[in-house]
Amino acid sequence: MGESNAVTRPEFTDVPLPDEPARAEARRRHATLIKPVASLGRLEELGAWIAACQGVCPPRPFARPRVVIFAGDHGVAAKGVSAYPVETTAQLVNALLKGQGVPNALASVAGAGVRVLDLAVDAGTSAEEFKVRRGSGSIDHEDALTEAEVEAALRAGVEIANSEIDSGADLLVAGDLGVGVTTPASVLVAALTGTEPVAVVGRGSGIDDNTWMRKTAAIRDALRRARAVLADPVALLRASAGADLAAMAGFLAQAAVRRTPVLLDGLPSAAAALVADELAPNARSWWVASHRSAEPAHDLALDHLDLVPVVDLGIRLGEGAGALTALPILMMSARLLTDVASYVDAGVHPPA
């Protein structure tokens, strides 16, 4: 079995860098538009990043942004680390499939499609195309996944990214959905940034002080196990993540391999991104952080990845909510380069 598993482990090699000449051309173009130089601040840098990802200036407006929500339950939730019971995950999956959730509402405004996938919900749902297992091991004392399961989850993430890109997606978002998911996400961040448990534990779903203490203890115990396998990102996912987070890591890494920009969401996607960047060096060049969440571990992850969030609205919800909120800003940054006239074209006198 070990030999077979080694053969099937996904490989993420030769991740290209975005096109620097296109980025430089976008910056030069901004200096010619009918506005004071550098007067649009971060919007100009975001537009240049889009041009670099597409390899062309002016960039093409996004035609098919897609949000993929990775749903899964986590065994550690049984330790009382969340404000919600475990059965809530399946109920929320069904609500999103009916178009009743927060991402559905935000996506309709942002012009994005939403796809909900059950990777590890501890119940039956109608979104099980890529299901790896029900739930996961309780990471405070056992592995989240087996070797075969973590590799299946990574392959699922690769296949999901490929299917979206092959269907025309030109911007991707990885969202999360699962009771207790910020616990394994915090463990991954603490392990990969060398941070102590108390510094990564947030309020997640809105937990009280007693729940916060239980969550801190669970992360402390899980972190001891995570540090023992820190040198191998796949082993780290096996020990400390879950099929949803492992698939998300594969999805983010493969998006970079396929030269497709990604708008990261909250803490779980940032935690998966930390692992994906270990799996696929240079992958972070293809990502932008959409927002700064209220979770302390999110800040740590973004700092480690050298990513600056687009907005800071105190959003704690996952499900792609922060990314969908920032998406219109990203779209605007591209349209500035395509739709705003230059001084010459508009017949406007440039500054002296």
Beta bridge partners of 263: 173, 288
Residue 343 has a CB neighbour count (10 Å cut-off) of 15
DSSP label at 81? -
Q: Determine whether 319 is an active site residue.
A: yes
Strand order of the β-sheet with 113-120 is: 113-120, 65-72, 171-177, 262-264, 287-289
Query: How far, in whole angstroms, is CA 285 from its chain's centroid?
Result: 13
What are residue 179's phi and psi, to 5 degrees?
Answer: -65, 130
Residue tagged active-site, from 25, 45, 164, 319 = 319
Beta strand extents in the chain (DSSP E only): 65-72, 113-120, 171-177, 262-264, 287-289
CA distances from 161 to 125, 157, 201, 240, 305 (A): 21, 6, 30, 23, 21
Give the catalytic positions in this structure: 319
